[in-house]
Amino acid sequence: MREGTATVIRREDYAAPAYWIRSVELTFDLDPVKTLVTNRMQVERNPHATTQTLRLDGEDLNLLRVLVNGESVSFRVENQQLVLENLPAESFTLELRNTCSPEKNTQLSGLYTSSGGFFTQCEAQGFRRITYFLDRPDVMAVYTVTLKADRAKYPVLLSNGNLVEQGPLDNGKHYAKWHDPFPKPSYLFALVAAKLVCREQKIRAASGREHLLQVYVRAGDLDKTEHAMHSLIASVAWDERRFGLSLDLDRFMIVAVSDFNMGAMENKGLNIFNTKYVLANPATATDVDHAGIESVVGHEYFHNWTGNRVTCRDWFQLSLKEGLTVFRDQEFSQDLAGTPSARAVKRIDDVRTLRQHQFPEDAGPMAHPVRPDSYLAIDNFYTATVYDKGAEVVRMMQTLVGRDGFARGMTLYFERHDGQAVTCDDFAQAIADANPGSALAHKLEQFKRWYSQAGTPRVAARGLYNAEMRTYTLELSQHCPPTPGQSEKQPFVIPVALGLVGRNAQPLPLQLVGENAPAGTERVLVLSEAAQRFEFTGIEVEPVPSLLRGFSAPVILEDTLSDADLLTLLAHDADPFNRWEAGQRLALNRLLAAIKGDGVLQLDGAYVDAMRAVIRHPALDAAFKELVLTLPGESYIAEQLEEVDPQRIHAVRESMRLQLAHALHAEWEWAYEVHQDQGGYSPDPVSTGRRALVSLSLAYLCLAAAEKQVPLWPGKAYQRFKDAGNMTDRLGALSALVGAHSELAAPALERFHAMFRDEALVVDKWFALQATAPEKGGRVFARVKTLMSHPDFSLRNPNRARSLVTALCFSNPAAFHRTDAAGYVFWAERVLELDAINPQLAARLARAMDRWKQLAEPYRSAAREAIARVAAKGELSDDVREIVTRALAD
Ligand code: B3K
Ligand code: ZN
C-alpha cells in the first residue's frame, strides 16, 4: 500500500523547477526481485528559481548511493523526496544508485514484471518508482540507457530511440545500449526485457526516409499482429498526408503486454500496449476489437508529435496532448472509413461514447474542467472530460476556422513550440493566430472557457415561422448548470451547425436577414451570448430545423421538435448524424414517457413504421441501420431523469425491445438473411456494418422466440455460434442466446470457454458477456459472484478484473443496483480488495458510484452507506480517497 501523502496539487501553484536535468545515463541490472538502477544525471541550476534545494521524487525505492561530481554528499529523504542542499553553483553530475522490486510492483506503475518479462509504465508518475528524479513533464532530458539481463530469459532488450551497442556479458547475461536523441520528460521513458518475437516491416515515408516498424509479442501471438502493423503503416501515412508530420526516428516499436492498466502508452519510439489493442485475427477478435486497435495504434503514434515533440508543461495541461490526440485519432479513423456514411457511423460512435461517459462525469461529483484546477492523484484525471470533451474542444476550433485553417494552426503550433513543454493556452493561441479573421480569433478568450468551466452546457432552441414575412427566426439560448466549486458560469462560444428541412423534405437555401443572397443549405452559427436570435429570410414554408449537425458542440440541445418533426428528420435530413439522433429521440421520448408515467410502454404504429422504413431502406448502410435500431442505453436514459430507478428503466427498455422484436419480426428475418457475409473476413466498414445488423437481428429474433418458446431461432443461433467463421459472428450469436436467456446459452458458453481457454483476450469476452447479460431475477448478479471464484478469474490482471467486476458495476445497471444493496456491498469489497493491489484500477472502479445522488430510494441510501464504508477505511490510497471523498461531498 502506498503511503498517503494527501496533498492537493493546484494549477495556480505552478513554478518552474529549481534545476533542469539535461541528460541521463541509466544502467539497469534487471532482476525480478531486486533490480539495481544506476542513474547519472547532468544537472543545471535554473537561474530564475527562488530556491537552491534540489528535491527529487522517489517512491518505493531503496537508495544506496548519492554522489555529486563523484563525491559523496549529505542528503535526506523526506516525504518521498530525496533532498539535496549546498549544491555546486551552476551545473554538476549527480549519480545515484538504488534498487526497486519489479515483481512486487502489483500497481503496474514504474518497472514491473508480467508473464516473466520486464515492462515499464511511467505516465504520469511511474518514473519515480524506478529512480529518484525530477518527475515532472517540464524537465526534459536526453536519455542513454543500458540494460543488462539474463540472456536466455530476456533475449529482447528494448528502450527508447536507437540501439547503439549490444553484446554478451559474463554469467549468461547480455546487454543492450539505447540512445534517444530527442529530449523527453521522464513519463515517456520505457524499457522492455522479455522473451518476445516480432513482426517487422520497412517502410519508406513520403520524405524518402526509411523506417523500421516492429510489433513485439509473445511467441504464439505472431499470427495476431497483421492488423496492428497495417494500422501503424496507415497512421504514418495519414499524419504525413493530413498534417505534414513525419516519423522522426529510424525505428518505431510497439510491444504488447498482458498486464497493463490502460490501453497503451506513447513512450518515445517504444509504445507499450495492452495486448487487447494489438492482438487480433478473425478467429479471436471482433470487428469492434479491430476498430479499437486501429484507433489506439493511431492514437499512440500521433502522440509522437502531439505529446512527445510538444509536451505538457504540467499535468493540468493533460488535454493539450490527450484531447488533441483523441481528435486526431478520430479524424484518422473517419478518413480511413472513407464514405460519408461510414464517417457518420464513426462520428455517431464517438458521440455515443461521449454521452455515455463524459456527460455523466460532467454532471457528477468528479466534474472538472478540461484543464483541471486541482487534484490529489493525477491518475484520476485521465478522464472522459480531458480526453473526449477535450477532443470536442479541438473539433470546435476546427469547425470555427475550417479544415485548412486548422491545419495551418497546427503548423504554426509546431513552428512555435517544437521541443517545448507548453500549455493549452499556447495551443489555442497558435490555432487562432494562424486564422486571424476567424470567429475563433475574435472570441479567443471567451472560447477558452471550454478549458476552464466544467459542466455540459444546455442550449435551448425555439423556431418561429412568420408566413407573411416568409422569415424563420431561431432563438438560441444557453446555460450551464453549476458543478462542484463552480457555481456561476459565463456563456460559452458554441458553434451550431444547422440546416433547414422543408416540408417537401428538401434542404432549404439559407439567407440571414442582411445578406444579399442565399448561400448553401448548411452553415455554422456562433452562439456566444446567453441568448441570441438568427433570422432567416425567403423561407416559403415552415421548416424543420436540423440543429447541431454532426454534433457540432458538446452540449445538450433542448428544442421543441414534435414527433412529426423528428419523423421528418429521420426520413429526410441531409445530415446522417441528425437522422440517427432523430431516431434516438423518438425512442427516448417513448421510454421516458413510460418511465415517468405508469411504467407501461405500448409501442405506437408511427414509431414501428419509421423503424421498418429504416430497416428496409434501399440506400442506407447496414451500419447506420444498426445504430438507429439500437435503443439508447440504460445509463444514457438515466441521465435524462431527475431521479433514477434503475430497475424501472431496465423493465421499460426490455419491454420496448421485446415489442420491437415482435412488431418487426419479418424485417429482422429479412435483414438477417440478406446481410450474411459473402467471402472471407475483412474488418472494413461495409462488412462490419452488415455483421452488426445480422447480430442485432438475431438478438431480436431470439428474444421473440424466447417469449413464445419457439426453438427455431435459438437453434439457428446455436448453429451459427458453432459454425461461425469469425469471432464477430460467433460472439454475436452467443450474445443473442445469452441476451434471450435461452436454454442453449449455458451449453454455448461452456463450449465457447472450452474452445478459447488459452486465449486470454477471448476469455475476457466470456466473462464480460456474462457480466453484462440483461438481468432477470438476479441470476446475472449471482452468476458474477460465482465467476469470481472461477479458476480463470484474477483481480491482479487488469483486463480480467475489468471484464467481470467493472463490466458489472458500470455496464449492467439492472444487475448492479439491487433493492437488497448486494451490488453495492460487492462493489465496496472489490474496491478495497483492489486498492491493496492496484490503486489506479481501484479508483476507476470506485467511480461506478459517481451518480449515486441521482438514485431513487432505497438505492440512494444504500449507495451512500457503501461509499461511506470505503471512505472509512484507514489505509486508502490517494487515488480511491479522492474519488470517495468527492462522491460524499455536499
Ligand atoms: N498517455 C497514456 C495514458 C497514461 C495514463 C496514466 N494513468 C495513454 C494515452 O492516452 O495515449
Ligand atoms: Zn493519449
Q: Which domain holds residue 847?
A: 757-890
Atom of ligand 1 nearest to the CA of 322: 10
Q: Does 546 have pLDDT greater than 50? A: yes
Instruction: Please give the Cα distance from 866 to 365 (Å, whole number).
Output: 16
Task: Answer yes or no: do 419 and 317 share one domain.
Answer: yes
Among 108, 123, 125, 300, name the best residue to mutate to test ligand 1's pocket (greatest count of ligand atoms within 8 A of Cβ): 123
Ligand 1 pocket residue status of 124, Cβ below 6 Å: yes
Residue 452 phi, psi dihedral angles, 5° rounding: -105, -20
Task: Answer yes or no: do 33 and 172 share one domain.
Answer: yes
Mean pLDDT of the 442-460 span:
98
Ligand 1 pocket residue status of 135, Cβ below 6 Å: no
For residue 424, the CA-to-ligand 1 centroid distance in Å is: 17
Rounded to the nearest 10 degrees, the angle between the axes of helix 605-616 and helix 646-663 is: 60
Ligand nearest the Cα atom of residue 271: 1
SS (H, E, C) 42-54: EEEECCCCCCCCE
Give the closest residue (by CA) to ligand 1 atom 10.
322
For residue 787, the CA-to-ligand 1 centroid distance in Å is: 30
Residue 503 lies in a domain: yes
Radius of gyration of the chain (CA): 28
Q: What is the pLDDT of residues 32-62, one digit of tens each?
A: 999 999 999 999 999 999 999 999 999 999 9
Instruction: Please give the Cα distance from 406 to 435 (Å, whole number).
Output: 8
Ligand 1 pocket residue status of 379, Cβ below 6 Å: yes
Q: Does 558 have pLDDT greater than 50? A: yes
Task: Answer yes or no: do 472 and 401 share one domain.
Answer: no
Task: Answer yes or no: do 800 and 882 share one domain.
Answer: yes
Ligand 1 pocket residue status of 187, Cβ below 6 Å: no
For residue 329, the CA-to-ligand 2 centroid distance in Å is: 9
Residue 417 lies in a domain: yes
Among candidate residues 532, 559, 586, the one where a domain is terminated: 559
Strands 91-100 and 35-45: antiparallel
Strands 531-537 and 54-57: unpaired
For residue 135, the CA-to-ligand 1 centroid distance in Å is: 16
For residue 735, the CA-to-ligand 2 centroid distance in Å is: 31
Band (pLDDT 50/70/90 cuts) for residue 679 is confident
Instruction: Please give the Cα distance from 861 to 695 (Å, whole number).
Output: 39
Q: Residue 201: its pLDDT value, please?
A: 98
Show Cβ contacts of residue 319 under 8 Å, excluding neighbours closer than 6 positions. 370, 371, 386, 387, 390, 393, 424, 451
Ligand 1 pocket residue status of 329, Cβ below 6 Å: no
Q: Does 798 have pLDDT greater than 90? A: yes
Task: Answer yes or no: do 161 and 68 share one domain.
Answer: yes
Q: Residue 890: its pLDDT value, please?
A: 86
Task: Answer yes or no: do 391 and 463 share one domain.
Answer: no
Q: In 3D, which of 684, 792, 760, 803 has the Cα closest to residue 217? A: 760
Task: Answer yes or no: do 43 and 163 share one domain.
Answer: yes
Ligand 1 pocket residue status of 123, Cβ below 6 Å: yes
Within 13 A of 304's CA, how many CA atoms are on the CB side?
27
Ligand 1 pocket residue status of 189, Cβ below 6 Å: no
Beta bridge partners, 545, equal 500
Atom of ligand 1 nearest to the CA of 300: 11
Q: Residue 503: its pLDDT value, please?
A: 83
- DSSP codes of every residue in 301-340: HHTTTBTTTBEESSGGGHHHHHHHHHHHHHHHHHHHH-SH
Give the closest residue (by CA) to ligand 1 atom 2.
265
Residue 665 lies in a domain: no
Ligand 1 pocket residue status of 388, Cβ below 6 Å: no
Q: Residue 1: its pLDDT value, please?
A: 37
Q: Does 842 have pLDDT greater than 60? A: yes
Among candidate residues 535, 559, 583, the one where a domain is terminated: 559
CATH number at residue 878: 1.25.50.10
Task: Answer yes or no: do 447 and 465 share one domain.
Answer: no
Task: Answer yes or no: do 152 and 103 share one domain.
Answer: yes
Ligand 1 pocket residue status of 322, Cβ below 6 Å: yes
Residue 695 lies in a domain: no
Give the closest residue (by CA) to ligand 1 atom 9.
265
In sign, the C-alpha dihedral spanning 698, 704, 710, 711 is positive
Band (pLDDT 50/70/90 cuts) for residue 2 is very low
Q: Collapse the DSSP code of 728 into the 3-class scheme (helix H, G, I; strand E, B; otherwise coil) and give the result.
A: helix
CATH number at residue 191: 2.60.40.1730
Residue 348 phi, psi dihedral angles, 5° rounding: -60, -45
Mean pLDDT of the 553-563 span:
97
For residue 141, the CA-to-ligand 2 centroid distance in Å is: 21
Q: Does 390 have pLDDT greater than 60? A: yes
Task: Answer yes or no: do 490 and 511 share one domain.
Answer: yes
Give the closest residue (by CA) to ligand 1 atom 8.
265
Atom of ligand 1 nearest to the CA of 303: 11
Instruction: Please give the Cα distance from 130 to 120 (Å, whole number).
Output: 9
Ligand 1 pocket residue status of 348, Cβ below 6 Å: no
Mean pLDDT of the 170-186 span:
98
Ligand 1 pocket residue status of 265, Cβ below 6 Å: yes
Q: Does 161 have pLDDT greater than 70? A: yes
DSSP-derived letter for residue 483 is: B
Give the closest residue (by CA) to ligand 1 atom 7.
379
- Please indicate whether residue 445 is annotated as part of the active site: no
For residue 387, the CA-to-ligand 1 centroid distance in Å is: 10
Ligand 1 pocket residue status of 28, Cβ below 6 Å: no
Among candidate residues 178, 195, 212, the one where a domain is terminated: 195
Band (pLDDT 50/70/90 cuts) for residue 5 is low
Q: What is the mean pLDDT of the chain?
A: 97
Q: In 3D, which of 336, 334, 352, 341 has the Cα closest to residue 620? A: 341
Instruction: Please give the Cα distance from 623 to 62 (Å, whole number).
Output: 55
For residue 129, the CA-to-ligand 1 centroid distance in Å is: 17
Q: Which residue has the higher pLDDT, 538 or 679?
A: 538
Among 127, 265, 300, 838, name the best residue to mutate to test ligand 1's pocket (greatest count of ligand atoms within 8 A of Cβ): 265
Mean pLDDT of the 687-712 span:
94
Residue 128 lies in a domain: yes
- DSSP codes of every residue in 540-553: -SPPEEEESTT--S
For residue 381, the CA-to-ligand 1 centroid distance in Å is: 10
CATH number at residue 426: 1.10.390.10
For residue 303, the CA-to-ligand 2 centroid distance in Å is: 7
Report whether 60 contacts 40 (CB < 8 A). Answer: no
Could you tell me what percent of the chain has a pLDDT over 70? Answer: 99
Q: Annotated catalytic residue: which of 59, 300, 322, 667?
A: 300
Q: Residues 600, 603, 606, 608: what is their CA dihedral angle, to the nearest 10 degrees?
A: 160
CA separation, residue 572 to residues 408, 579, 830 (Å): 35, 7, 49
Ligand 1 pocket residue status of 350, Cβ below 6 Å: no
CATH number at residue 487: 2.60.40.1840
Q: In 3D, which of 176, 182, 387 has the Cα closest to residue 267? A: 182
Residue 300 lies in a domain: no
For residue 266, the CA-to-ligand 1 centroid distance in Å is: 8
Atom of ligand 1 nearest to the CA of 307: 1
Q: Which amino acid is at 732?
A: G
Q: Residue 3: its pLDDT value, please?
A: 41
Give the closest residue (by CA) to ligand 1 atom 5.
123
DSSP-derived letter for residue 127 is: G
Mean pLDDT of the 804-814 span:
98
Among 119, 297, 317, 322, name the best residue to mutate to test ligand 1's pocket (greatest count of ligand atoms within 8 A of Cβ): 322
Instruction: Please give the Cα distance from 60 to 77 (Å, whole number).
Output: 12
Domain total for the chain? 4
Band (pLDDT 50/70/90 cuts) for residue 678 is confident
Q: What is the pLDDT of residues 234-283, one digit of tens each?
A: 999 999 999 999 999 999 999 999 999 999 999 999 999 999 999 999 99
Residue 814 lies in a domain: yes
Task: Answer yes or no: do 51 and 130 share one domain.
Answer: yes
Would you call the peptide bond into 858 cis, given omega within 30 degrees of 0 as the criterion? yes
Ligand nearest the Cα atom of residue 306: 2
Give the closest residue (by CA) to ligand 1 atom 3.
265
Atom of ligand 1 nearest to the CA of 266: 11
Atom of ligand 1 nearest to the CA of 379: 7
Ligand 1 pocket residue status of 262, Cβ below 6 Å: yes
Place of cell 492537493: 8
Instruction: Please give the Cα distance from 816 to 824 (Å, whole number).
Output: 7
Task: Answer yes or no: do 465 and 516 share one domain.
Answer: yes
Ligand nearest the Cα atom of residue 320: 2
Among 261, 262, 270, name the best residue to mutate to test ligand 1's pocket (greatest count of ligand atoms within 8 A of Cβ): 262
For residue 593, the CA-to-ligand 2 centroid distance in Å is: 40
Q: Residue 709: its pLDDT value, please?
A: 78
Report whether 379 contacts 658 (CB < 8 A). Answer: no
Ligand 1 pocket residue status of 299, Cβ below 6 Å: yes
Mean pLDDT of the 476-487 span:
98
Beta bridge partners, 166, equal 176
Residue 859 lies in a domain: yes
Show Cβ contacts of residue 719 under 8 Å, excluding neighbours closer than 6 positions. none
Cell numbers placing 57: 521524487
Give the closest residue (by CA) to ligand 1 atom 1.
265
Atom of ligand 1 nearest to the CA of 264: 8
